[in-house]
Amino acid sequence: MQTVLTLWERLDHHWCRFLQAESASDKQFEFGQLSGYYELACGLFKDEVLTTRAARTLKEHLAEILPRMQANADFASRFSALRGEPNTFENIEWFCRTYRRD
């Protein structure tokens, strides 16, 4: 439960920082921080660390927001700019494939 609450808190924190950033470079930095927490959360689901009922709401959030972010041109370009290796964001991509809502 504590892990889920901490992840929620950090995601909220980084969303606020991203939305408040004024320069393009600050916005990209904050997006990197935000996407890092999304990657971490997805990895914890992939590794079956987050399996409790307390994690259900977080899983629902990820399943709703991440595919939308990937489909949005601005966010897609931000993800692309941060991709340093082919496996960058592999946990996010795994999560989106696994929990796709058609």
Report yes or no: 59 and 45 within 8 Å, Cβ to Cβ. Answer: yes
Q: Which pLDDT value is given to residue 5?
A: 87
Number of domains composing the chain? 1
**pLDDT-based confidence at residue 102 (cuts at 50, 70, 90):** low
Amino acid 2: pLDDT: 81
User: pLDDT tens digits for 17-68?
Assistant: 999 999 999 999 999 999 999 999 999 999 999 887 879 999 999 999 999 9
**Can you give the residue range of the structural domain that contains 36?**
2-98
State pLDDT tens for residues 5-20.
899 999 999 999 999 9
pTM above 0.85, yes or no: yes
Distances (CA, A) of 64 to 26, 29, 43, 56, 60: 26, 23, 17, 12, 6
CA angle (4 as vertex; 42, 40 as ends), nearest 5: 30
